[in-house]
Chain A
Amino acid sequence: MEMLDLAMDKAAAANRLSADEALALCREADLLALGSLANRRRKQRHPEPVVTYVVDRNINYTNVCGSECRFCAFYRSPDKPDAYVITRDLLSEKIEETLALGGTQILLQGGMHPTLDLDWHLDLLRFIKQRFPIHIHGFSPPEIHHLTQTSGLSLEAVLRALIDAGLGSIPGGGAEILVDDIRKKISPNKCSADEWLNVMCTAHRLGLRTTATMMFGHIEEPRHIIEHLIRIRDLQDETGGFTAFIPWTFQPKNTRIPLDTPATATAYLRVLALSRLVLDNIPNIQASWVTQGDKIAQTALAFGANDLGSTMIEENVVAAAGVSFRLPQREMIRLIETAGYQDVQRNCFYRPVEPR
């Protein structure tokens, strides 16, 4: 109890929280006390009453993936009838549609396809950049790590090649929980926590901005969530390259992690608020309407979130796990306005997009 009081006081005074203090908040603090502290911190960081969002689309260039993570309902082995690699025609069509809807970026992610090599990825980037004025937010750290393995090149060389070919920023996916004991159990073939952080560190040094995510509500314990947050915070102290943090909850349907009680809405809001309090050096905390639905996403704006993420003209990965909420742009705007904020469409760097 003493630890909790100390942690609450420190959080209220906007002082940095230790791992033990964060754990006390995570385990014991009242939901609304956390919300109140997180909201206060968010207002200190963002005094203007604004909530941002981005118009983009998720394009999954392949669903073939050798990683076979136990929590994933999206991947297919190459021999499956519904395994695919996107055609250039379909890719162009999707991007044209995105631009027509006022979109400014695409989120481009796989599949770690065993036979698509680095050149294929570079060609893909060049193909897009030569044709379309669109920002590419692409290739999460596990994919980039995978490309170092298939190419035999150094991480820096791979990243430089991707940047030269048109990569604009890196999404924070594949972080899951940045604790190897957990990763070994849920995603044994995916890069380690150190490798994930190393990709981000190198990318930041090369001038790429990235986000960071956390997928919780499976087999982890509160201490693993805290360890994850602290590792992200430590790297951010070094590089300052993270634009945003996005926690979201594991969706168990069609996956190989049996769970009859997925993380509830209050569990989500607690972790969201805690993220705002612990990650004192990351400016933006994003609500996940894709996993939580519009109601909890709007509620999250009072629990530390200042960004509603993407309108997601298309989303496939979470939908494969049986959850498909829809949130058109005008509905996104209504949620923001009725919560008492001004809506601002942003780009990948969290700057306002000029109205066209």
Chain B
Amino acid sequence: MKTFFDDPALNDIDTKLHNGDRLDETDGLLLYRSHDLVGIGRLADRVRRQRHGRNAYFVYNQHLNYTNVCRNRCRFCAFARDRGEKGAYTFSNEDVTRWLTSRMDQPIREIHIVGGLNPSLPFDYYLTMLQTIQSIRPRAVIKAFTAVEIDFLSEISGLSLDETIIKLKNAGLSMVPGGGAEVMSERVRLELFPRKISGDRWLDIMATLHRHGITSNATMLYGHIETIEERVSHLVRLREQQDKTGGFTAFIPLAFHSQNTDLAHLPPTTAVDDLKTVAIARLMLDNIDHIKAYWVMIGEKLAQVALSFGADDLDGTIMEERITHMAGATSAKGLTRKALEHMIRSAGFKPVERDSFYNPIREAA
């Protein structure tokens, strides 16, 4: 049966996809402007199924946010604190050990580590943390430090970026999360996160990591002051980088949460925007394998629906998230394997528990 589109403008995109033509920025904008939500979903779902069939992935993971002290103080962030400010915290090596050992009964495969740029921590702190985690969880992949943190580490280590990465890799770093990209627009950066590295620098660091054999994710923080033009341009820049270095494993759209930030007057993202962003990412990022529906940010229910809008991955169990919850997220702080599998199955997909590199750990029947 030929796909029927409520919005006839989608027919041209349908044809392009059938012919294997790459979508351009105009197509991306057309998709964002279209109100044919199900039509956009069907295009993305077709591409998703060509690549991944009915598989929907998740990882048994644990988050570790080692410090909330951060010198950048981005305006969209509810997590960061100044040194000495009420609520500021920094994990000691013992805290890290305790955080991990509290869940030793669980088959955790990935430790996801993100923190602030804390000026009082020496470079050795990070190396020790990686070594400690590796000794406690030798079978888990350490996915740590956004490009923003890596840039900061190379600053405080006094080493070159290459040398910094080699040291981290030797201490146990296997992969890098995709945060800190925000929206790669100088306009937005100057307005919201002037002290954070630019989009160019973020891409440079990712390229260097990829050349060292360290894969990474990529993200986009949307739903604040950015335009759809800036979103689409962000996706295209990621795609161009991926053409060169190929190291991006997954793309994760991050829905902005405004509570407790300088932007608290902004309303939350809508479901239509969340689903479109997942679908458009799938359609534009033809060279990034995996698109995540990050349930922490869009909620468990919409993340499940997003599996039919181009997403093939639900992230994971997460135990337990802090950054988005500080900004008012109402999702759970963690999900069980059983809950994730039920969500996936009920949506008509096959749950596949994976490691950080998308190797299957176990496939549920």
A binds B: yes
Give residues in A with beta carbon < 8 Å to B.
Answer: 8-9, 12, 30-32, 35-36, 39-40, 43, 261, 264-267, 269, 292-296, 298-299, 302-303, 331, 334-335, 338-340
Q: How many residues of B contact A (CB 8 A)?
A: 31
Q: Give 1 or 0 for each of B285-299: 1 = CB within 8 Å of chain A CB.
A: 000000000000011
Closest chain B residue to A341, Cβ basis: B35
Give residues in B with beta carbon < 8 Å to A.
Answer: 1, 3-4, 6, 35, 37-39, 41-42, 45, 267, 270-275, 298-299, 301-302, 304-305, 307-308, 342-343, 346-348
14 cross-chain CB contacts under 8 A: A12-B1, A32-B38, A32-B45, A36-B6, A36-B39, A39-B38, A261-B346, A264-B346, A264-B347, A265-B305, A266-B308, A294-B271, A295-B299, A296-B305
- Sort A-B residue pairs by CB-CB distance and give the 3 closest, nearest first: A340-B35, A265-B301, A295-B271
Q: Within the complex, what minimum Cβ distance (angstroms) separates B278 from chain A?
A: 12
Interface of B, helix, strand, loop or mixed by DSSP: helix
State the CA gap A32–B10 with chains docked (Å): 15
Residues of B within 8 A of A266 (CB): 304-305, 307-308, 346-348
Q: Is the CB of B1 within 8 A of A298?
A: no
Interface of A, helix, strand, loop or mixed by DSSP: helix
Q: Within the complex, what minimum Cβ distance (angstroms) separates A331 from chain B?
A: 7
Residues of A within 8 A of B3 (CB): 36
State the CA gap A331–B271 with chains docked (Å): 13
Residues of B within 8 A of A267 (CB): 346
State the CA gap A295–B39 with chains docked (Å): 18
Known contacts A32-B38, A40-B4; is A298 also within 8 Å of B270 by CB? yes
Residues of A within 8 A of B342 (CB): 261, 264
Q: Is the CB of B271 within 8 A of A299?
A: yes
State the CA gap A104–B186 with chains docked (Å): 49
Q: Is the CB of A30 within 8 A of B4?
A: no
Q: Is the CB of B270 within 8 A of A335?
A: yes
Residues of B within 8 A of A269 (CB): 305
Q: Is the CB of A295 within 8 A of B302?
A: yes
Task: Determine which of B39, B272, B343, B348 lies in contact with A298 in the assembled complex, contact meaning CB atoms within 8 Å.
Answer: B272
Q: Is the CB of B271 within 8 A of A298?
A: yes
Q: Within the complex, what minimum Cβ distance (angstroms) separates A6 from chain B?
A: 12
State the CA gap A302–B34 with chains docked (Å): 13
State the CA gap A112–B270 with chains docked (Å): 39
Closest chain B residue to A340, Cβ basis: B35
Residues of B within 8 A of A43 (CB): 6
